[in-house]
Chain A
Amino acid sequence: MDAALYFLSWALLAGGGFFCVVGAVGILRMPDAFTRLHAASIIDTLGVGMIIAGLMVQSGLTLTTARLGIILVLVFFTSPVASHAIARSMRHRNVKPVLSEDRTGEGS
């Protein structure tokens, strides 16, 4: 494999790993469940995205790359649905988020 491509793939995989770690640290540091979802969405987007992009560079122009693309699209369509389902069920169970500002006019 070309050295430049090898380096690019390596950088993307390492970057993806870095953002997964950042997301995990964020999940531990955030004060409540809503803010933890924000940290988790870094893993869903940049973490998964960069790792799959790195693997795509590794496999070159093959069917495997197309399949990795399908996996990426699947994650990008399903992960917000899961986040939304968690947030919505918390709201319907009256879990109060830790807020510094409420612009809905409902009060807390």
Chain B
Amino acid sequence: MGQVISLTIVLLVFWLTLSGHYTTFLITAGVISAVAIALLAYRMDISDREGHPIHLGLASITYWPWLVWQIILSALNVTRIIINPNLPISPTLTRVTMTQKTDVARVTYANSITLTPGTISVDVEGDEILVHAITSDNASDLEAGDMDRRCTRFEGKV
């Protein structure tokens, strides 16, 4: 039931943010829509920890700023490669092991790899992600496992 209530609140805030017109009719319509969708999601059994991972909210406060910083660093790195007249790339295909247990954390890890310029997660095979990296250094950085550990910690703070 806690999931239903938090989903209702999130949907209502989303409605109010997008609407911007605070008349009685529109707010009432928003409340009715939010409650109806939350109840529908509850009946369809999709408002679980995977469909509405509100429990990760606190952990994302520390994980996302770190991820944004990594994105900026590696985007500048790839920018230097593109601007360099010699185009110093050494494309590498590698496998990294993921230590996360839940699907949400695994998706977060794979998405973080892809979102960081210089590495793309190509395929998932069991506990391993096939990664294409633009330089062998990028591949080695990922194999070192810092991002994997942070994702696991992100998952652990439930």
Given contacts A45-B75, A46-B71, A103-B95, contact A91 B120 (CB under 8 A): no
Complex Cα distance A63/B22, Å?
12
CB-defined contacts of B87 to chain A, threshold 8 Å: 29-30
In the bound complex, do residue A100 and residue B122 qualify as a contact, i.e. CB atoms below 8 Å apart?
A: no
Say yes or no: is A101 at the interface (Cβ < 8 Å to chain B).
yes
Count of interface residues, chain A, beta-carbon cutoff 8 Å: 43
Q: Majority SS of interface residues in chain A?
A: helix
Q: Does B29 contact A (CB under 8 A)?
A: no
Q: A60 in the interface, Cβ–Cβ < 8 Å?
A: no
Q: Does A76 lie within 8 Å of B115, measured CB to CB?
A: yes
Q: What chain A residues lie within 8 Å of B92 (beta carbons)?
A: 99-103
Task: Name which of A38, A80, A91, A103 has the most chain B CB atoms within 10 A of its CB.
Answer: A38
Assuming the A-B contacts A37-B120, A63-B17, are A80 and B115 also in contact, with contact meaning beta carbons closer than 8 angstroms in the complex? yes
**Within B90-131, which residues are at the interface with A (CB < 8 Å)?**
90-95, 110-123, 130
Query: Which of B18, B72, B90, B110 contacts A46 (CB under 8 A)?
Result: B72
Contact B117 A87 (CB under 8 A): no
